[in-house]
Structure 1
Amino acid sequence: MTNMMKAAVYHALDDIRLEERPVPEIGPEEVLLKTLACGLCGGETMAWYKKSDPKVLGHEPIGEVVEVGAQVTDYQIGDRVFINHHVGRVDSHLSRRGHFTRDPFYASMKLDPGGVCEYYRVTAQHLRMDAHKLPDNISTDAAVTIEPWSCVMSGLKVCNIQPGDTVAVVGAGFMGQGFVHLAPFFGAGKVIALDFSDWRLEKAKFFGATHTINPKSQDAVQALRDANNGRLADTVIVIAPFPQAWADAEKLVEVGGTLHLGAPLAPGTDWVREGSRAYFDQITITSRYSSDHTDTYSYIRLLEAGRIKADEAISHRFDIKDSAEAFEMLRKAEKSLKIIVYPHGIPEDQKDA
């Protein structure tokens, strides 16, 4: 191993550079991981969400232990692991009330220096709070979905779904597909996907949608009623981060139902609700930022049990040298779902996948 490594660095939405960075040095309670694969997240295309530039791209890596600190006993060189990029703590007011991800400590804990690089450092708190050795029956590609789809798991936990409920998902990109795919584990009966892309709607059928609606060519409210015995949806999950999408999604919620906000609007963006309906229709608004250690544990067990079609959610694979091309595909959000970058080259068995 050399002291320098390749890293894909975000400078701007249209400026992703391959740079040389020092390989992180670890402390006695830390480990160094070789990055086997890292997924790209749609949130990385929201320029306002970036806290600092430049920044190493990616926060969905899967790694192999290549160096362990002197005081580390639970991990050995060669272990293949998932470690959540943010981790919480137990000794705070927010954490004790179950809001691990909203405790400022959570966002302060990060992988060093990121995901789309050849090696990354993991802190002692990461190892204590949300680290998992991966069983052999979970492929590395499938494991890349652990961080994003455990965020889906986190969201579904607060959606108030009762057995047999109809769930509508507005936006069928990778995260929307996750909500479609996992909603039945929480009791959903009919699962209805809405998107402007017929390609994504076809993918939604593969991941479990019982019905699909394209609002570009159909009246979404009427189409939903036609598919659901004249009723609207008990739970509506909106992934699209736009005020109009939120307003349109609210029109799909049945009286007494739940509207779940699955992605944030930019700061300073207003979302206005009609006051009478807000009172009389008794619609619950929920949201859930990111995933905590309980969500990743739940998701990994489902993945190990063979319940998740994770491998099929990977649509494109790139070598790290092509990170700018991969990010541009992510930005366009056309015919792609989960995009993976391989810092040490695309494995031979995945080159034709």
Structure 2
Amino acid sequence: MPQEVRAAVAVAKGAPTEIRTVLVPDPGPGEALVAVQACGVCHTDLHYREGAIGDDFPYLLGHEAAGVVEAVGPGVTDPAPGDYVVLAWRAPCGLCRSCRRGRPWYCFDSRNAAQAMTLPDGTALTAALGIGAFAEKTLVAAGQAVKVDPAARPEAAGLIGCGVMAGYGAAVHTGAVGSGDTVAVIGCGGVGNAAIAGASRAGARRVIAIDVDDGRLDAAERFGATDTVNSRGTDPIEAVRSLTGGHGADVVIDAVGRPETYRQGFYLRDLAGTLVQVGVPDPATTIELPLIDLFSRGGALKSSWYGDCLPSRDFPVLIDLYLSGKLDLDRFVTATMGLDDLERAFAAMRRGEGLRSVITL
């Protein structure tokens, strides 16, 4: 019997989200029903609301969540009812060409729930990133529900499900930051500061934070930045070069995803350095670079998909780091609010306020 829950729905492009009654089916084969306890407000949700990702409205928003498994479908043994989980938007299939090559973090056929959640009139909802967690309960593929230590408070744990994992993994996995490296991070929101934390833990000798907001730069220092650059009034390329003996950074992470920040990142690198783009760009934007510079500067230009993470491996590790005091997830949470306040959270995001608002349910 489907359950009625309250949920945040984006009904049309650019329209304010609406709190609607949503019907959540009982879990079928390979599915899990999760009672959501907290869900972070990510820029990706705003992109869905604005129609920047697709036009499959109505969308059931929310994807950065933690909660408790309430029921599982036939054949599911992991997770089990009662398990405390963080939801992942990648659940490797184990069968695609990437999984078979031993690269499940690039899975090309990631699993989602087969059944759709609907409005009472039967209208199917498109779940954001296959999750749809701005809801009291949500239906996901069992592989999307990753069991973690229940001692982690849900407001912090849920952030592992997207922004923190994306940033941390961009440094540790995609950028392969190593001991003694110099790292520059452009954009010090939730993703950027997670990249700073990851680079610091990976042994970077110098971590340079770049942003236009002094408050975010102050936060970056608390996450491990050794130097800060406010690019509103300073050329970040010259600033980074002056901090690195004129050379540039070994690894640059663009956590913004705009043409101007990508270009900055390209020239912030030392020769043969690595540029990692983890900020999600507007699909309409383009970039042009001199081909001779692409050749002569060498190195690597990489895109980081979800921090190139394997959720079943990485989520429990990051939660353990949090519980041992080595990764301060609580510092990312700058506001908590209820489901009815989602539009207020989006407005704060547009103004660049704080790192993460979290909806509690």
Q: Secondary structure at the match of 1:143?
A: helix
CA distance in 2 between partners of 1:30 and 1:294 (Å): 19
Residue equivalent to 1:84: 88
For 1:152, give the aligned amino acid.
G
1:152-171 aligned within 5 A: 152-156=167-171, 157-171=173-187
Name the residue aligned to 1:319: 338
Contact 2:217 2:228 in 1 (8 A): yes
How far residue 264 of structure 1 moved from its aligned partner, in angstroms, is 3.6
Contact 2:36 2:68 in 1 (8 A): yes
Whole-Å separation in 1 of the counterparts to 2:138 and 2:67: 8
Shift of 1:184: 2.2
TM superposition shift of 1:66: 2.3
> TM-score scaled to structure 1, two decimals?
0.87
Within 1, Cα distance between the matches of 2:190 and 2:268?
21
Q: Residue 132 of structure 1 aligns with which residue?
A: 146
Partner of 2:9: 9
State the TM-score, normalizing by the size of structure 2. Answer: 0.85
Equivalences for 1:256-335 in 2 at 5 Å?
A: 256-290=272-306, 294-295=310-311, 297-305=313-321, 306=324, 307-332=326-351, 334-335=352-353
Per-residue Cα deviation, 1:160-211 (whole angstroms, up to 9, x for no partner)? 4332010000111110011011112333110000001111111101111000
Alignment correspondent of 2:122: none
**C-alpha distance in structure 2 between counterparts of 1:192 and 1:236, whole Å:** 9
Aligned-pair identity (%): 27
Cα distance change, pair 299–121 in 1 and its aligned pair in 2 (3 A):
closer
RMSD between superposed Cα atoms in Å: 2.5
SS in 2 for 1:48: coil
Q: Shift of the alpha carbon at 1:43?
A: 1.9
The question of 1:196 aligning with 2:197 is answered no
Residue 140 (structure 1) shift: 1.2
Aligned-residue offset at 1:64: 1.2
C-alpha contact 2:183 2:204 (8 A) present in aligned 1: yes
**SS state at 1:187 partner:** coil
CA distance in 2: counterparts of 1:118 and 1:145, whole angstroms: 17
Measured against aligned partners, the alpha-carbon deviations of 1:245-298 in whole angstroms (never above 9, x if no partner) come to 111221211111111111243335321112222111113101121256625522
> In structure 1, what is the Cα distance between the partners aligned to 2:289 and 2:104?
29
Instruction: Identify unmatched segments of 5+ residues in structure 2.
Output: 118-126
Structure 1 position 120 matched with structure 2 position 138: yes
Give the superposition deviation at 1:101: 5.5
In structure 1, runs of 5+ residues without a counterpart are 344-353
CA–CA separation in structure 2 for the residues paired with 1:2 and 1:29: 17
Q: Compared with structure 1, are the counterparts of its residues 281 and 310 closer, same or farther at alpha carbon in structure 2 (3 Å cutoff)?
A: same
Residue 338 of structure 1 pairs with residue 359 of structure 2? no
The aligned amino acid for 2:252 is V
Relative to structure 1, the CA distance from residue 109 to residue 272 in structure 2 (aligned partners, 3 Å threshold; closer, same or farther) is farther
Q: Is the 8 A contact 1:17 1:324 kept in 2?
A: no
1:205 aligns with 2:221: yes
Query: Residues 107 and 82 from structure 1, CA distance in 2 versus in 1: closer, same or farther, beyond 3 angstroms?
Result: same
